[in-house]
A and B are shown apart, each in its own frame.
Chain A
Amino acid sequence: MNSLIEFLTFDDPGVRAVSLGAMLLGIGAAVVGCFTFLRKRALVGDAVAHAVLPGVCLAFILVDFMGSLGWTDISPKHPLALIVGAFVSSWISLRLIDYISFKSRIKEDTAIGLVLSVFFGIGILLLTLIQHGSSAEKAGLNSILFGRIAALTAGDVLLFGAVATVLVFITLMLYKEFQLMSFDEEFAAVTGLPVRRLELTLTTLTVLAVIVAIQAVGVVMTAAILITPPAAARYWTERLPVMILLAALFGALAGLTGAYASFAAPRAPTGPWIVIVLTGFAILSVLFAPRRGALARQLRQRRNAGRIRHENILKALFHLGEQDDDFYAARSSDDILARRPMDGTVLRRGLEQLRRHGYVRREGAAWALTAEGRMRGARITRLHRLWEVYLTQYVGIAPDHVHDDAETIEHILTPELEHELEALLDHPQIDPHARVIPQKHG
């Protein structure tokens, strides 16, 4: 706990730099990730991340070799050299995935898995070559596997933060184009956007974002920092700007977590904690987001199911009324069940709820419609029969095949549609089964 307080005061300038850099890094990856996510290419980010490894190792070997010849004196672990190497190899990997899946019958997911594992394998091969080699700086290179912010100097973190800022800037500059491409690529092409070039730009941005994110979470978990914030943000909104902002917020918090983790336990990998925090956001979003969340959807479904049950009970009572020409007489549950078979307890519970809302009255063990209940039962029956008329007259379906469809639609039709339907059918009185269609104010 003390370390958390110490961390949050940001007294230490090192902590300040690392926190700022890590937050920028989270934001950059999340913002670019929004478009990767919307274009349904989440796993491509995963492949890019794995493909970074051979590039990094090759850059290391090359710079180290040049250094040994005395051509250069930069460290083989200089972040710029590693970024260039990572960039080249992940670019090649992406082109390969596209090439394989376009030019053969191999599906995209197989191509991704193939390129990912082979590139990573080559990376491991090179990494072990370096470790068995004689370079003085070989230690610490494998922190790229699991991410370790603490292994970076403040200067490195700021460099990655700066790259992330540039990423966000370019993405926002091309916001309109990317938006159009993510939602309707064909339309974007038709309106004359250079779709091919924009796609390459987005790919480049993705590659850069991955390279930056790897510093924090490591190769295997980089997909998370790119994809999880947008996935979580998607649940809270239907608007892209809000989604990007939210994703950036999640990304920033994750970055801060990483900075704290590397502060509290400098020798432990930071990646997993960032991923766990992000997953927490995602799980909360999937479950509890107001409209798209699982809980909200479950509640909505349940409400709808309840309404449909109520309407069916009222309809059954109305039909019984039609049959005896007495809408307000009391009927036993058995009468209702004979008219419309359902579970006995479900019926009793539904009737009780309807009574509370004033649609039915209780008379001893029997139930009777109130005036409101009759109106509502009449409306459902009306919609049912109107729809049957519509199906037979306009769609040309035989009268004995229209019932099931009407049984569903009667709960869905709005008053506006009802009105239109009536006008279209010229106010019919009788349904295809020669039953009277109850009128609106009858």
Chain B
Amino acid sequence: MNDFWIILIGVLVAATCGLLGSYLILRRMAMVGDAIAHAVLPGIVIAFMISESRDSIPMLLGAAAVGLLTTFLIETLHRRGMLQIDASIGLTYTSLFALGVILASAFAGDVDLDLDCILYGEIALAPLYTLDIGGVDMGPRAVWIVGGALILVLSFIFLGYKELYITTFDPAYAAIIGVSVSLWHYLLMGAVSLTTVAAFESVGAILVVAFLIAPPAAAYLLTDNFKHMLLLTVLLGSLAVVGGYYLAAWLDASIAGAMALCMGLVFCAAFGLYRRRLHIASKSLTDQQLAARG
């Protein structure tokens, strides 16, 4: 039964992160996603200290707020502080992460927060924390949290599909027809923060980043159709989850790490297919040219 829950949680995380990641990599904001995934740490710790529990609602809200703050800080440093964008991303997330580590280690005595766990998660333990409602076992809590995030993200994309699409591919046009580019930017970043936090507890920061970037990048190489890219992302991500789980079980090693490795392999396969297609395309082109020349 544990296998089932872990794979289910993994697939839910892969779908949620992958959907949002598709937008991130097309907007050239992959590293902002990375920054948010690291920077929510102080939010989690502070929310944890205030609410004194691992109760997920304050934790989600606190970390989501810090996630938005991260985006805001990066933009402010870049626009008002005149700092180049790569440096402002690096500066923001390292300092917030440092703050989080200090807070976490300062209160490590009172607080049941494990730093390693935050980095690479304990998906293996996720099925053990179950949700009880009125004495009825509702299954692992993580399934509900990540599942909730997935439903939120799905409805966000469903309701705002057009706006997200236009602001991603042609922000100038979006501004002309009166779609607020910055509103959708912050909504998207808010969704990324929420997802990060929801996924954090079970899979850790690094797997969140891998799920945000690797499956969309692979899908991006395989199709030119955005809707297909979204579907493929979810599929490839899930594939890596299943592969990673059994690899980790076989090696007796970190599940998150093995899933990240599988995601790398999935990307390599996509890259190979992409290069092959390019090769064939260019070859048939030269064949045609030769034929045309007679």
Contacts and interface: CB of A to CB of B under 8 A. Distances in A.
Contacts of B95: 224, 275-276, 278-279
Interface in A173-196: none
A126 B116 CA distance: 14
Contacts of B252: 129, 132
Contacts of A129: 251-253
B90 A227 contact: yes
A104 B267 contact: no
B86 A224 contact: no
A146 B209 contact: no
A227 to B, nearest CB: 5
Interface in B88-128: 89-91, 94-95, 97-99, 101-102, 105, 115-116, 119-120
Nearest to B204: A124
A118 B214 contact: yes
Given A117-B210, A227-B90, A271-B101, A43 B253 contact: no
Given A103-B275, A145-B116, A227-B87, A120 B260 contact: yes
B84 interface: yes
B260 A117 contact: yes
A354 interface: no
Contact of A118 (B119, B263, B271, B275): B263
A121 B90 contact: no
B260 A118 contact: yes
A224 B97 CA distance: 11
Contact of B86 (A40, A106, A128, A275): A40
Interface stretch (A108-116, A311-319, A372-380, A422-430): A108-116
A103 B209 CA distance: 23
A124 B90 contact: no
Contacts, number: 184
B119 A114 contact: no
A279 B92 CA distance: 9
Interface in A263-301: 268-269, 271-273, 275-276, 278-279, 282, 286, 292, 294, 297
Nearest to A118: B264
Interface string B11-25: 000000000000001
A142 interface: yes
Nearest to B268: A118
Interface residues of B, number: 58
A390 interface: no
Interface residue tally on A, bucketed by range:
35 or more
A231 B91 contact: yes
A229 B162 CA distance: 42
B86 A42 contact: yes
Contacts of A145: 115-116, 119
B274 interface: yes
Q: Which of A113, A120, A297 has most B Cβ within 10 Å? A: A113
A228 B101 contact: no
Interface stretch (B29-37, B150-158, B176-184): B29-37
Contacts of A114: 30, 213-214, 217, 264, 267
B221 A104 contact: yes
B119 A220 contact: yes
Contacts of B257: 121-128
A282 B94 CA distance: 12
Q: Which of B101, B119, B120, B248 has most A Cβ within 10 Å? A: B101
Contact of B220 (A105, A271, A272, A279): A105
Contacts of A246: none
Nearest to A286: B81
Contacts of A40: 84, 86
B73 to A, nearest CB: 11
Contacts of A224: 90-91, 94-95, 98
B271 A100 contact: yes
Given A127-B254, A275-B98, A41 B86 contact: yes
Interface string A34-53: 00010011110110000000
A270 to B, nearest CB: 10
Nearest to B258: A125
A125 B34 contact: no
A32 B98 CA distance: 22
Nearest to B103: A272
B77 interface: yes
Interface of B: 25, 28-31, 33-34, 38, 77, 80-84, 86-87, 89-91, 94-95, 97-99, 101-102, 105, 115-116, 119-120, 206-207, 209-210, 212-214, 217, 220-221, 248, 251-254, 256-261, 263-264, 267, 271, 274-275
Given A37-B84, A127-B257, A273-B102, 16 more contacts: A106-B217, A111-B217, A113-B30, A117-B263, A118-B210, A124-B256, A125-B251, A126-B257, A129-B251, A145-B116, A223-B94, A224-B94, A272-B102, A275-B94, A286-B83, A294-B81
Sorted nearest first, the 7 A-B pairs with minimum C-beta distance are A121-B260, A125-B257, A118-B264, A124-B257, A275-B98, A224-B94, A272-B98
